[in-house]
């Protein structure tokens, strides 16, 4: 599972061969959740409110640059 980013104790990662909608996973203090790539919203899981806000802000800030380099593409691993 490729790690995308780590900040303030939050680990952001993606898995290959994922399902739609396009999303990424996060871990924080033993909790895991899925967030939408499109707008950074929480899709699944329970996550602390403050950290949810941080992840959403991170996703929005990184969306354009991530799309440019293909990190958040829906393509399968080679």
**Digit-coded pLDDT (tens) for 37-61:** 888 999 999 999 999 999 999 998 8
Tell me if the pTM is above 0.85. no
Question: How many Å apart are CA 33 and CA 43, to the nearest integer?
Answer: 8
The answer to whether 77 touches 67, Cβ cutoff 8 Å, is no
- Residue 68, pLDDT > 70, answer no
Q: How confident is the model at residue 66 (pLDDT cuts 50, 70, 90)?
A: low
| pLDDT for the residue numbered 32 | 94
- Residue 78, pLDDT > 50, answer no
């Amino acid at each position: 599972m490729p790690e995308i980013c780590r900040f303030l104790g939050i680990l952001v990662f993606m898995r290959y061969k994922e399902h739609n909608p396009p999303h990424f996973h996060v871990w924080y203090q033993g909790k895991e959740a899925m967030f939408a790539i499109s707008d950074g919203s929480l899709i699944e899981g329970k996550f602390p409110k403050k950290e949810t806000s941080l992840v959403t802000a991170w996703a929005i800030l990184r969306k354009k640059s991530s799309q440019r380099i293909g990190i958040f593409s829906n393509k399968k691993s080679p």
